[in-house]
Structure 1
């Protein structure tokens, strides 16, 4: 009979179509580009904001100081609720040449675990990203919830590193920064390798360098050595600082490092805008860096190559 022969010919075609249908559809980013959901959920570093929680009543002073130092524009502030349980905050988005910041000035107590997340990452698909984070060894601290302009979740990577994932109902469109900010993560040797496996897998990142004898002068400990791992991915750059925890203030308190073309001139503008230089500048490991505290208590690392 001819039917079995036809059936045998159809089997490979059916299998191929089934495999094709199992591939996640490509998502469209706000810039109109296609992102392959199999590889990365990232959209672009301009959509990955550092979450800045300032002291009560200091939001305007912080934003004014930041923009005077780096330039940029703002959206807000607006009084809103951005957590799944009742709370109230003044929220403002700062889009600057060195990176994007989400600024929160809470007028109510901050519900747990908010305030401990470092960043907000725009993803192509929130539900898939949450499932992928779990599969990659992260914990979901806050299950997906609705906010006034989209949906969010909070995940924690090994070592206690929290990140907020989000999507917007209407896709945002922000300009790319002049320099990609550097997420700065401090970990113990016990947690570093588990974090790196999980974080690299979820972000689709790669290791740029892994220096086990980095100059301790860069973290306020001249004459010592530590491990410094540099990563890059669609979510931006990350510096993983692995130490014994014997760190002088303010190291470990900063969330993000910002590259500037002229560190001296930037520090002068920061001082004039009400910021305080806590440490440096010091040259180590091919860069000159300083630690700066802005009004409201936000501490940032600034550097120039």
Structure 2
């Protein structure tokens, strides 16, 4: 029994050391996108409103297959100074589990990155496959957080963001620590704050507190919002929080371009924040200050 215990301990140490020495496969926050799925008829209105609100521009729309099984969607990349979105308008039913992934993260080596994610605690939800410009996979983290990892045949070169957006991840208490530990290991990131008494107004409550974990890595920012799921709409439906220099001006541009302010601007400690819903249904948190 002692020999078996020693062998198991050595195996664990070797595994931990290998994980600690695993390279960081991230490229940079400006290469990470939020995946936005809208009906084909809403794509143009969404892109027009999103760029009018945040600036930037869209790549040319193409109709392609972006899944490992047959499907058809319009696809375009909308790049702004405060965040990038990949917009999909599927002409066919969306094959499972696509549409459930929240982000796409560019990596330097797809197969190695998937293995590193597995070693850190993620499961491979969609095994690596070819797409028209590279390769992709989808992994799922503790708590059911799905993320796409992708690699391009031709290395892209994008300008760094003026403000790095935050991936907003709502999780129950039972899985928040497991997700945080696994993702931080994979991303070579760090927990910059873990506030167990963050003000409830941040998740739409009139009083009380909740736990908020903020993570930073080469992939960008992530905020884990730990709740009991008793949330008023639209909290929990937003995938990304966008930092802007002038919140009031941003909200005006949004309203003028067809978006709706679904949570009015309000104070959140050292931030002012609001929530927008764009044509097609995409909900986004917007804030100024840190």
2:39 and 2:280 mapped to 1: Cα distance?
5
Q: What is the match of residue 233 of structure 2?
A: 249
1:39 CA drift (Å): 3.7
Q: Is the Cα–Cα contact under 8 Å of residues 40 and 74 in structure 2 kept in the other structure?
A: no
Provide the secondary structure at the position in 2 that maps to 1:103: strand
Q: Is the Cα–Cα contact under 8 Å of residues 94 and 100 in structure 1 kept in the other structure?
A: yes
1:54 and 1:224 mapped to 2: Cα distance?
35
Q: What is the match of residue 58 of structure 2?
A: 74
2:274 and 2:133 mapped to 1: Cα distance?
36
The match for 2:179 among 184, 191, 195 is 195
Q: Deviations over 1:71-106 (max 9, x none)?
A: 102112100000000000000101101111100010
Q: What is the match of residue 207 of structure 1?
A: 191
Provide the secondary structure at the position in 1 that maps to 2:40: coil
Q: What is the match of residue 143 of structure 2?
A: 159
1:222 CA drift (Å): 1.9
1:54 CA drift (Å): 1.1
Q: What is the match of residue 8 of structure 2?
A: none
Q: Which runs of 4+ in 1 moved over 3 A?
A: none
- How many residue pairs match? The answer is 272
1:196 and 1:133 mapped to 2: Cα distance?
13
Q: Is the Cα–Cα contact under 8 Å of residues 55 and 297 in structure 1 kept in the other structure?
A: no
Matches within 5 A, 1:113-124: 113-124=97-108
Q: What is the match of residue 261 of structure 1?
A: 245
| 2:87 is the alignment partner of 1:87 | no
CA RMSD in angstroms, aligned pairs only: 1.5
Q: Deviations over 1:122-167 (max 9, x none)?
A: 0011010010111111010000000000000000000000000000
Q: Is the Cα–Cα contact under 8 Å of residues 208 and 230 in structure 1 kept in the other structure?
A: yes
| 2:204 is the alignment partner of 1:233 | no
Matches within 5 A, 1:97-116: 97-116=81-100
2:172 and 2:39 mapped to 1: Cα distance?
29
1:38 CA drift (Å): 3.0
Gaps of 5+ in 2: 1-17
Q: TM-score, normalised by structure 2?
A: 0.92
Max radius of gyration: which structure?
1
Q: TM-score, normalised by structure 1?
A: 0.87
The match for 1:58 among 30, 42, 48 is 42
Q: Deviations over 1:49-73 (max 9, x none)?
A: 0001112311111000011111102
